[in-house]
Amino acid sequence: MTLLKYKRGYPVAILVGLEEDKAVLWKIFSKVAKPENTVRMKGPRNDPKAAYSFHETIINALRPTLKEGVHSIILASQPRTNHAQEFINYIREHHKWLTQGPNKTAFSIITGSASSPSQVAALTRTPEFHTLISETTAEETENLVQILEKRLNTADQNSAVSFSLEEAENLILKRQEPSRPKPEYLLLTDRFLAGSRQKNRLQRLMQIAKNKRVQTRIINAESPAGKRLTQLGGIVCLTKVEQTFQKH
């Protein structure tokens, strides 16, 4: 995996390099790693207020990628430091929505530095990193498949599952009536994407889905979640009716 600016592939995970005085965020694609943001510590780590503000700023920096549908996060910190575990503890205390519920995020910790391009290039080449990526994304996508299975097994007029590119386009590209189910997830395997004869059409659909805040995830076809998607045709769009409440 390199740090080039072309042939990025598709988003796989977020890498957060946690240092004494900063956190550097990287978006890991299937072919490259791209720098996203740098959050700096304003004060000493042993100052509770400074630590709280630092961790909260990291959460806010993660939100845009999380909203896109990437919920696999690798935390990297140097040997003999507990920066990654401190961040995990903060999340468990203040942001339970990240670790609980159907749309939870999968976290993993790796020892190493990830604050510069050369450090990330070295880290992402290690077998340990590739194993961790596979395990973390498998955990995340298994959560998505659980949502899918629940939708498939529940006869609910407020949600629906579509199984083709055409049906996904109909749901995502066309304007839907307020009472109709809205696209919530677009899931497809990397094999479906690679083998598509209409890549431009598919890329356009994924870009518009992203713009409309439909959580889009490309899943390894060899993973358990990918094998289940393959059984369903390789692409699935999940919809749900937005809940509206009337004021009395």
Q: What is the pLDDT of residues 26-35, one digit of tens each?
A: 999 988 999 9
Rounded to 10°, the helix 117-124/127-153 angle is 70
| Secondary structure element (H or E) that encloses residue 81, with its range | none
* The predicted structure's pLDDT at residue 243: 53
Both tokens of 34, joined, read 């791209």
* The predicted structure's pLDDT at residue 77: 96
Which letter, b or e, does each residue of 69-83 get, where b requires 16 or more Cβ atoms within 10 Å of its Cβ?
Answer: bbbbbbbbbbeeeeb
Short-list 37, 117, 128, CA closest to 74:
128
CA distance 68 to 122: 27
* The predicted structure's pLDDT at residue 155: 58
CA distance 242 to 223: 31
Distance between first and last Cα of the chain: 56
Determine the average pLDDT of the residues in 42-59: 95
Q: Does position 179 have pLDDT exceeding 50, yes or no?
A: yes
Evaluate whether 62 touches 107 at the Cβ level (below 8 Å): no
Determine the average pLDDT of the residues in 104-126: 95
CA distance 79 to 19: 11
* The predicted structure's pLDDT at residue 180: 73
Residue predicted with more confidence, 157 or 212: 212
DSSP state of 97: G
Q: Does position 76 have pLDDT exceeding 70, yes or no?
A: yes
Q: Does position 117 have pLDDT exceeding 60, yes or no?
A: yes
DSSP three-state, residue 212 = coil
Short-list 101, 34, 106, 95, CA closest to 60:
95
Amino acid at 141: T
As a whole number, the mean pLDDT across the chain is 89
* The predicted structure's pLDDT at residue 245: 40
The band of 174, judged by pLDDT with boundaries at 50, 70 and 90, is confident
Domains of the chain: 11-139 (3.30.420.60), 155-240 (3.30.1330.30)
In 125-198, which residue ranges form alpha helices assigned H by DSSP? 127-153, 165-172, 190-195
Short-list 111, 135, 134, 136, CA closest to 123:
111
Evaluate whether 238 touches 187 at the Cβ level (below 8 Å): yes
* The predicted structure's pLDDT at residue 151: 85
**CA–centroid distance for 104 within its chain:** 10
Determine the average pLDDT of the residues in 106-119: 96
